[in-house]
Amino acid sequence: MPVSYRDIAADLRQQISEGRYAPGDKLPMLTELQAQYGAGYQTVRSAIALLEQEGLVVAVRRRGTIVRERPERRRITRSRQVFRDKIGYYFDPTAQPWVALETPTVQWGIVPSDLAALMGLEPGAEVLVRDRVMGDPQTRKPKQLATSYLPAELARGTRLADADTGPGGIYDRLEEMGHRPLRWSEGVSARMPSPEEADALDLPADVGVPLLRIVRVTTAPSNEVVEVNDTRMSAEEFEIGYSIRRHASARLTDDDGDSDEDH
C-alpha cells in the first residue's frame, strides 16, 4: 500500500516531538524525502504543508524547511478570584503588569453572532465595542487582545462610551450606575486567528498558531449581562492553569476503611 502524505507527516511529527529534529534543524530536501519514503513529489509536499499548517516547521528561503523555534509556554493561573489594585479590578496576576500598547478604540457595532445569545441580545443588536491591545510595558511586545461588548441601551449617553472611563474603568462605572456587586463567570476555548488578530499579536506569518480565548461574562444582581469581555492570546505562548482540590468523595482512607478525617 503506497505511503500517504499523512503517514509521512506523522513520522516527521514524531521525530520532531522526540527531538531527533530539534528547533532550528533543517529537514531533508523534498527529493531526499521522496527517496526515503518511496513517495511522489506532491505527496511529500503535502506532508510538509500539513506540518507548516500545524506550526511545526517553516519554509525559509534558500535554506529549506526548518523546525520552528517556539516560545516557552507561560502558565496563566485562573484562581477563580477577582483582584483589585490601584487601577481597578483584574482577573489574572500574570497579566496584571501589562498595559495598553495603543490608544484603545471605542465604537458602536453589531454584537458578534457567537456572543449574542450569551448577552441576551438578538442577532444584529447594537453594542458598544471597546478594543485594547495589551502587552509588556518594557518590550512593547503584544500579549493579548481584549474586547469588551456592552449593550447599547445600557452604555449610550454614559461614561462607558468615553475613551477614558476614569479610575477603575468600566467596572467601577457599572457599579456606580447601580449594578453592584458585579459577578463574573468565564469560559476557555481556542480558535484560529483572523489575519488582523495575527498581525496585532505579532504571530508568525503563514503558520498555524491558534488563539487561546477567554470569554468573561459580567452580570448584575438582576442577572442582566452588562458586559462580555473576549480576550485572545497566543496558545503557543500561554496555557491556562489551576489548582485541583480534593473533593470529600476522594478522602484518603486507611486499610480499615477509616478516612483520615475519622482520627
- DSSP state string for 62-124: TTEEEEPP-PPPEEEE--S--EE-SS-EES-TTTTT-EESSPPEEEEEEPPHHHHHHHT--TT
Q: pLDDT value at position 255? A: 61
Alpha carbon distance 108, 166 (integer Å):
20
The three-state secondary structure class of 235 is: coil
- Maximal C-alpha separation, the chain: 72
Cβ pair 220, 227 in contact under 8 A: no
Q: pLDDT value at position 95? A: 82
Q: pLDDT value at position 257? A: 59
Q: pLDDT value at position 29? A: 94
Q: pLDDT value at position 263? A: 47
Neighbours of 254 (CB within 10 A): 10
Amino acid at 85: D
Q: pLDDT value at position 261? A: 53
Report the run of H or E that residue 258 belongs to, with start and end: none
Measured CA angle at 219 (ends 215, 221), to 5 deg: 165
CB contact set of 138 (below 8 Å; sequence gap of 6+): none
Q: pLDDT value at position 62? A: 82
Q: Which residue has the cell 529549506?
A: 64
pTM for this structure? 0.75
The pairing of beta strand 238-241 with beta strand 74-77: parallel
pLDDT tens, residue order, the chain (263 aa) = 789 999 999 999 999 888 889 899 999 999 999 999 999 999 999 999 989 888 888 888 888 999 988 777 676 766 667 888 888 888 888 888 999 999 999 999 999 989 999 999 999 999 999 999 999 999 999 999 999 999 999 999 999 999 999 999 999 999 999 999 999 999 999 998 888 899 999 987 767 788 999 999 999 999 999 999 999 999 989 988 887 888 888 887 766 656 555 54
Hey, what domains does the chain have and what are their CATH numbers? 5-67 (1.10.10.10), 74-241 (3.40.1410.10)
